[in-house]
Chain A
């Protein structure tokens, strides 16, 4: 009898131990965050950069001086590009960072549609420490299209800008440098000359469907105007595809494949094989974001002179496809004010210019000098209207984009479908897609 009792007691204590361990495990996994004290003497920043990246070094330097100047401690985590995905998971816990950064559409996708962002309009009116002018004065309004969440609210304050242009080596192509093509017709002429001279005109890493999409989406923006491609995709009836403007753009892109203007292997290589070959002089042109020089420099031939021109026009539209990277503050952040202070602090000319001078990228401030290799794209950035890269489709309709548009576009750009087949297939796939979303 007493043996049974002992057994029960032991069983009970064993069960209690197990329960305690399990609960302990579960709770320690959830509650590593701060308890949400009100003191703004610190804030947490989940960065999109990894510690070794040049942008991280620039930011780390600014964080250090910010801590010295203000006494506010910055708990920075160099998380890398999936920081926003982690924020999405964190939003269901207490452990939400006060400051995050990413490309505008990544942030808008994760926290704007569901209203989990802090309106940063107030930051526009903040003084930039050490300058005597407001943030609004140095961030031109042309970037508002990227950062606004409707109703005048802003979910983002940009600190880096990406422009997309057609890159070439001016040393190898002095004629192009002297007179860069402006219209598609002129561009087609340049490509034909290059082909006739036995060279391969265009480099494209076709295994990245998003890079192939740059070509077609920009061509569509050229013929339909800014926002035209976005409207096409958002239409549940998919009515807009069968028009002369769309046909003109698609035919121009399909002809690139038809006339074999891409460097052979563009459809069957692993990134970055093709852009590396471009840097080594095996192809003439590369349509890419303003990170192209930094990414290809170590492979570039001696004396490679980075120049670039805007995607050629079909009619009146000559907007520059662009994107911005900036700071955002999740809505449940405990230390939003401290984070906002840092945003204004970082936009100081001297600090921000290191994004340009040390990390070799563009900034939204027009008064920051840029590295020589970015001079062309910077001139475009200052002088042209901006359009969102892929006309915003990648961000606004990401699921449609990767499942329907991108695969079909790769077929168009590898000569597997004609423009007419493309139009027929995308219109029906788009109607089906929207019908499933009800």
Chain B
């Protein structure tokens, strides 16, 4: 952080003739507003505005059309006693933590393995593939693979004569969603982590090898410290994107017209389920907005905490 600020201040104490720097500085400032304002305006209209509107709506009972009825914190207190909201909250956190840890562990393992492989750019593309394909397509494929007499159960039957495993019944559905989420996202984090790891000069590893370091020690003392800044950014990135996971759960657990069972809802599905979702939508816009605002607050706290937790002095090399 300190380094960056100093760099930004650089030109002011520049070495060149004072006049040229000042002119450069002035023209830079002149461009500042025209470049920032369009994005800022769009951001205001499409992000900040709706968020504030959601906050306002969350204090009301509203069907989307009639006059809003002021309920104060009524929606919030109702949410805290709503078992389905609690489930959605817990599911969201499980996705964040359990799937998150799994994604990073698997990504590191793959990074370590792929780093030393011959066709690593090809392998990297293959690993990245699930991230490119639409989550909806993948969820449909997963449905076919894991349903009662889908591919997996057929293979298990041929190999072991096993009875079909009910992968998709309500008890197992959320676990399958977790596994699917890990599988969908891992490729992206492998790509990010590999880019960071590739940057690390080879001689650190050679040195570690000469010193007799095993694979774990190379990870612990070379890879992790030297790619820490990328890891921490990737962790924040995962936190934000985990909150937004929607279509995989929706398409994997539900059908064209129907929502998945409420037991597997995360917060995004809860918002949809209480507003537009399902054959006969609930149209509880105040309630849905309140849940979205609560999740926004929770994740803001989580992200600030995570950034503090992951902060390290960057190591220059």
Contact = CB atoms under 8 A, between A and B. Distances in A.
B276 A85 contact: yes
Interface in B166-198: 166-170, 172
A403 interface: yes
Contacts of A437: 78
Given A14-B33, A209-B258, A399-B274, A267 B166 contact: yes
Contact of A399 (B253, B261, B263, B284): B284
Interface stretch (A104-112, A186-194, A338-346): A104-112
B298 interface: no
Contact of A265 (B41, B149, B255): B149
Interface of A is mostly: helix
B42 interface: yes
B147 interface: yes
A113 B143 CA distance: 38
Interface stretch (A245-253, A268-276, A374-382): A268-276
A269 B147 contact: yes
A265 B65 contact: no
B34 A398 contact: no
B81 interface: yes
B25 interface: no
A22 B45 contact: yes
Interface in A39-91: 81-82, 85, 88-89, 91
A14 B164 CA distance: 66
Contacts of B66: 114-115
A383 B261 CA distance: 37
Nearest to A109: B280
Interface string A12-55: 00110011011000100000000000000000000000000000
B255 A106 contact: no
B167 A268 contact: yes
A80 B130 CA distance: 30
Q: Which range holds the interface residue count of chain A?
A: 35 or more
A395 B280 CA distance: 6
A216 B215 CA distance: 59
A372 interface: no
Contacts of B172: 268
B170 A410 contact: yes
Contacts of A21: 38
A82 B281 CA distance: 10
A362 B18 CA distance: 86
Interface string B138-172: 00000110011100000000000000101111101
A402 interface: yes
Contacts of A144: none
Contact of A109 (B41, B45, B281): B281
Contact of A22 (B30, B42, B83, B281): B42
Nearest to A3: B26
Given A109-B281, A402-B259, A265 B147 contact: yes
Nearest to A263: B148
A210 interface: yes
21 contacts: A11-B30, A11-B33, A18-B41, A26-B45, A88-B283, A114-B63, A114-B65, A207-B255, A265-B147, A268-B168, A269-B148, A270-B143, A270-B144, A270-B255, A271-B255, A399-B284, A402-B262, A402-B273, A407-B170, A414-B169, A414-B170
Q: Which 9 A-B pairs have the closest CB atoms?
A: A265-B148, A268-B166, A398-B280, A399-B282, A270-B143, A436-B78, A268-B169, A114-B66, A268-B168
Given A394-B279, A414-B169, A436-B81, 20 more contacts: A10-B30, A11-B30, A81-B257, A88-B65, A113-B63, A116-B65, A208-B255, A209-B258, A267-B170, A398-B278, A398-B279, A399-B282, A402-B273, A403-B273, A407-B170, A407-B262, A407-B263, A410-B261, A432-B81, A437-B78
